[in-house]
Amino acid sequence: MSLVASAGGADRRTGRWRGGAGRGATPYLLLVPGALVVATFLGSLVVAGSISLRDANGALSLVQYKRFFTDPFYLDFLWRSLRIAVYSTPITLLLGYPYAYVMARSAPPARLALTLILVIQLFTSDVVRAYALILVFGNNGIVNRALLGLGLIDRPIPLLFHEAGVALGLILVPLPFMIFPIYSVLKNIESNLETAAASLGANRSRTFLYVTLPLSLPGILAGVVLVFLFDLTAYVIPGMLGGGYFNMIANAVFEQAMAVLDKRFAAAISMSLLLVTLALLYLIHAIGARSRRAER
């Protein structure tokens, strides 16, 4: 379930019309409705981009961007979103990789159970999952009540409604986005390779470190990209688990657009976020391409 994979890339050997049907205008006609959908999407970006380039009187200007990139108050939303994504994503990886590994290597009943848990998570709204985390980690949540009941603390520890509380949500909620790409790579690794490493005398940790882990790097990369972008652009989790004390960049966009009603500034913040996202994806793509070249 690689969410960033290309939609095309059908098998070249099968699934293609032979004879004359493969040419001509037919494919373009079939794509017309899809093109309209894509055009709406691109149009929305163009229109948002164009209003972000206007000043308060509607004249062409970079003043909205200047405001965003020079006012520390607004720039901090971008900075803290990048910061929290940088340290939450590796923790999601550390929790997610073993899960994917166990899922790929366990017997069918355990595999099915692990898959079911994950798919239910994936299909449950972030709003519900973030709310559930408040019930567990909030001041009145089960963790604090258990600690109080055991007499280990005499007043609730504030686990939520600050940066670390938001990070907790950003570590746990996107786990399915990390696990599925790693799982789909791990389950396709020949188990013979691991058996071969073992028969040549490698113990389990050496086999993992020198055989399994390098082969699963594409899955790790896909998962890390998905989770990093999820964290960077999160709205619901900072909104609910931050309780207004730790807003991230997506919250700033919504507030400017819908509460302050400064759509031009909101558009400038969102375009800046889009540019950061695209720059990161380009960077990762370039690193991936370079490491593939180095392997050859």
Partner 1 sequence: MNRAGWLPWTITGFTVLCMVVPMIVIIGTSFNSGSEMAFPPVGFSLNWYANIFQREQFPRSFQFSLLLAVFSTLVSLTVGMLCAVALSRYRFFGKNAVAAAINSPLIVPQVVLGMGFLVLLAQIGIVSSLIGLALLHLVLTLPYTVRVLVASLARFPASLEEAAVIHGANRFVAFVRVTMPCIKPGIVSAAIFAFVTSFDNFTASQFLTWDRTTLPIEIYAYATLETDPTVCAISTLLIIMTTGIVVLAERWIGLETVTG
| Tokens linked to 215 | 């082969």
Q: What's the closest the beta carbon of residue 36 comes to partner 1, in angstroms? A: 8
Residue 56 Cβ vs partner 1, minimum distance, rounded to whole Å: 16
Least spacing, CB of residue 17 vs partner 1, in Å: 5
Minimum distance from residue 87 beta carbon to partner 1 (Å): 18
Shortest Å distance, C-beta 276 to partner 1: 9
Residue pair 147/153 in contact (Cβ under 8 Å)? The answer is yes
Residue 296 CA to residue 294 CA, distance in Å, equals: 5
Which residues, 6+ apart, have CB-to-CB distance to 228 below 8 Å?
85, 86, 89, 280
Cβ neighbours of residue 225 closer than 8 Å, sequence gap 6 or more: 4, 281, 284
Of 36 and 217, which CB lies nearer to partner 1 in the complex structure?
A: 36
Whose Cβ is closer to partner 1: residue 48's or residue 224's? 48
Neighbours of 41 (CB within 10 A): 10
Kindly give the residue spans of alpha helices, DSSP state H, lying in 139-201. 142-149, 163-172, 175-186, 191-199
Cβ-Cβ contacts under 8 Å for 64 (sequence gap 6 or more): 52, 53, 54, 55, 264, 265, 267, 268
H/E stretch holding 257 reads: none
Q: Which is nearer to partner 1, 112 or 164 (CB)?
A: 112
Nearer to partner 1, 29 or 294 (CB): 29
User: In whole angstroms, what separates CA 267 from the centre of its chain?
Assistant: 22
Nearer to partner 1, 13 or 293 (CB): 13
Separation of alpha carbons 227 and 215, rounded Å: 20
Nearer to partner 1, 285 or 292 (CB): 285
Cβ of residue 33: shortest distance to partner 1, in angstroms? Answer: 4
Q: What minimum distance in Å lies between the beta carbon of 163 and partner 1?
A: 19
Query: For partner 1, which is the closer residue by CB, 211 or 253?
Result: 253
